[in-house]
Structure 1
Amino acid sequence: MQEEVYGAQVDMNLWKPKLADNWQFSLAQLWIVNGNRETRNTIEVGWHVFPFLYINTEPRTLAYWTADGYNNTGCYNLDCVGLVLVHSTNTLIGKPLAPFSQYNGDQHDITIKVQK
């Protein structure tokens, strides 16, 4: 029997990783997955550093989705119709984040929640 999931929440430490070039990216995410390889649908939320998408190396919140195993559907943040924002209070999708955690220093985190 498969259990139904109606949401998830995660606390993530926030960093500003250094990348070797603009084609690399780094992320921390909550990945909610259903289906096999061909029919896989996902909701992915967290933070990433992705210079190819944003033209800079600032850590930003991310939301991503796909409904067909990344074949024809899916995109980041609010750039397509697949992701519907239903509550706008304190929503920072795609926005830069700060402050960052420091090695052997202060630690900072964000809380992200997905709910059906």
Structure 2
Amino acid sequence: MAMLVILIGLVAITVTVVAVLAGFKLATDSQRRALPPARPPLPGPSPWQGFQGQPGPRYPAYNPAQYLSPGDRERINVMLRGGHKIQAIKLYRQSTGAGLAEAKAAVEHLERYQ
């Protein structure tokens, strides 16, 4: 009798595992069929391509020096060449009214591309 109960239990477990695996396979197959087909790319250049196919977005180049007077720009360049980055950021903030983060980014840009 105990052997029969064990055998029935094993059969029940096997049937349950097979049913779960079959259900999983059916679910994944139906999910694959439910996906829409991929759309073809839009005609023309990508909006993330620059001019003449060069990589990069299409917007004007960032130039933080456009907000500075020529004298202030020269003073900032002198400070940067002398290693006085904090004073250059202070001068940029005084000249333009920019916040600290914006002034820091602008001065670092000037330092990198002067």
* TM-score interval for Structure 1 and Structure 2 normalised by the shorter chain: under 0.3
More strand by share: 1
TM-score (norm 2): 0.19
Structure ranking higher on relative contact order (CA contacts 8 Å, 6+ apart): 1
Larger Rg: 2
More helix by share: 2
